[in-house]
């Protein structure tokens, strides 16, 4: 498939922001989360000195919350990028259309997907991927699912951006959205690992896959 340049540029920006976001997400302290945990532990132990210590470590956590601000900035950028990518899915620029991302939406697409799985699954078990010209419905479906997962991450993230209380307890709904946000990231990470593994396997198979998505490459 021939990807138009806007798709290639968006892919690079999305990959950069998402990979940085995942790294930051592992390292950051979340203001408000600490606060609640500190309150709970202080109450359960009923020890004022301990609560005082928690308070100090809280202040320390808030000092470190610049990482959380980077997380918010990257999150809003990712939300904007995914909206742009999905908007392009309703245009006719090469490689952008939503039918490319969701081949299983039509009967014909589902048939192609089935045929491809039947003919290529034995190769996958040996770590061999067929060249893109021999069918790419599986790859496209995986790309579509990745974008949907990013959309779910962005939707929950933007809700948290407006609803998260950095200095106190969270409402029940915001707490649930926070849990969902953390749960969805597991799927996103798994898909990204598989996506990068697929790229490596394609390259080992001699398919010049990177040139298909590198911005401004021929």
Residues lying near ligand HEM in the complex (CB under 6 A) are found at 1, 7, 11, 14-15, 18-19, 85, 101, 132, 136, 139, 143, 146-147, 150, 192, 195-196, 199, 209-210, 212-213
> CB 116 → ligand HEM: shortest distance, Å?
14
Helices of type H across the chain: 5-27, 33-45, 48-63, 66-88, 98-101, 107-125, 137-163, 172-204, 210-213
> CB 128 → ligand HEM: shortest distance, Å?
17
Q: Of the candidates 132, 139, 140, 68, which has an alpha carbon nearest to the alpha carbon of residue 101?
A: 140
> CB 28 → ligand HEM: shortest distance, Å?
19
> CB 186 → ligand HEM: shortest distance, Å?
15
Choose between 1 and 23: whose C-beta lies nearer to ligand HEM. 1
Choose between 146 and 177: whose C-beta lies nearer to ligand HEM. 146
Q: Of the candidates 145, 133, 151, which has an alpha carbon nearest to the alpha carbon of residue 212?
A: 133
How many Å apart are CA 97 and CA 35, to the nearest integer?
45
Q: Of the candidates 5, 1, 19, 9, which has an alpha carbon nearest to the alpha carbon of residue 207?
A: 1
Choose between 29 and 136: whose C-beta lies nearer to ligand HEM. 136
In sequence order, what are the residues at sequence separation of 6 or more whose Cβ sits closer than 8 angstroms to the Cβ of residue 15? none
**What angle do helix axes 33-45 and 48-63 make, rounded to 10 degrees?**
170
> CB 96 → ligand HEM: shortest distance, Å?
7
> CB 200 → ligand HEM: shortest distance, Å?
9
Choose between 61 and 129: whose C-beta lies nearer to ligand HEM. 129
Choose between 51 and 198: whose C-beta lies nearer to ligand HEM. 198
Q: Of the candidates 6, 211, 14, which has an alpha carbon nearest to the alpha carbon of residue 94?
A: 6
Q: Of the candidates 136, 218, 134, 149, which has an alpha carbon nearest to the alpha carbon of residue 190?
A: 149
Choose between 65 and 100: whose C-beta lies nearer to ligand HEM. 100
């Amino acid at each position: 498939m021939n990807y138009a340049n806007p798709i290639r540029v968006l892919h690079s920006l999305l990959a950069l922001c998402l990979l940085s976001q995942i790294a930051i997400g592992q390292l950051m302290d979340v203001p408000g989360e600490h606060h609640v945990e500190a309150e709970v532990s202080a109450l359960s132990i009923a020890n004022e000195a301990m609560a005082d210590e928690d308070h100090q470590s809280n202040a320390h956590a808030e000092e470190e919350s610049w990482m959380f601000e980077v997380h918010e900035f990257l999150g809003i950028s990712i939300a904007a990028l995914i909206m742009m990518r999905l908007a392009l899915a309703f245009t006719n620029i090469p490689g952008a259309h939503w039918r490319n991302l969701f081949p299983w939406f039509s009967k014909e697409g589902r048939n192609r997907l089935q045929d491809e799985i039947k003919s290529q699954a034995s190769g996958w078990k040996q770590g061999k991927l067929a060249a893109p010209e021999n069918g790419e419905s599986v790859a496209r479906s995986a790309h579509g699912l990745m974008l949907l997962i990013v959309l779910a991450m962005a939707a929950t993230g933007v809700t948290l951006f407006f609803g998260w209380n950095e200095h106190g307890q969270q409402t029940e709904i915001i707490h649930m959205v926070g849990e969902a946000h953390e749960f969805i990231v597991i799927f996103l990470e798994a898909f990204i690992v598989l996506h990068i593994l697929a790229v490596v396997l394609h390259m080992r198979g001699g398919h010049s896959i990177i040139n298909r998505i590198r911005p401004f490459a021929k």
